[in-house]
Amino acid sequence: MASRALPASPAGRRRRLVPSGQKPGMPHPSGKLDDNQFVLRLYVTGLTRTSTEAIKNVQELCESHLQGRYQLEVIDIYQLPSLARDEQIIATPTLIKVLPQPLRRFIGTMSNEQKILFGLDLLERH
């Protein structure tokens, strides 16, 4: 089942995507993060083809491999440039794995699922 998007903020700048069945704004059904919880931020530039593709790819990856164990926040850097500066975003789309540690960054449309899974420590190198 696909993730559902929370209604955008009044200015449509930021939206948090949560697994289906999980309450918006809650890190985990219990209300706290556990060791298996993933916190991801995807920085995009508007609704370009590349941004749209990256959002779709990350949502599908999360639902396939992290169902019920993730928070995904999509941030449009055109609307919130200060967040891009704070995170030192130099290219978009950029996916940042905030938790679990270590922090990891991925740049591009996120179409190489094996590379992303390996970077998220969900797949071992053979």
Q: Give me the CATH number covering residue 86.
A: 3.40.30.10
Provide the b/e sequence for 59-84 (b: ≥16 CB within 10 Å): bebbbebbeebbbbbbbbbeebeebb
Per-residue pLDDT at 6: 35
CA–CA separation, 107 vs 47, rounded Å?
16
How many domains does the chain fold into?
1
CA–CA separation, 7 vs 5, rounded Å?
6
Q: Is 62 within a domain?
A: yes
Q: Is 1 within a domain?
A: no
Q: Mean pLDDT, 10 residues at a time, over the chain (126 residues)? A: 37 51 43 75 96 97 95 95 92 96 95 94 76
Q: Is 13 within a domain?
A: no
Pairing, β 104-107 against β 14-18: unpaired
Give me the domain span that covers residue 72. 25-119
Q: Is 8 within a domain?
A: no
Q: Is 60 within a domain?
A: yes
Per-residue pLDDT at 94: 97
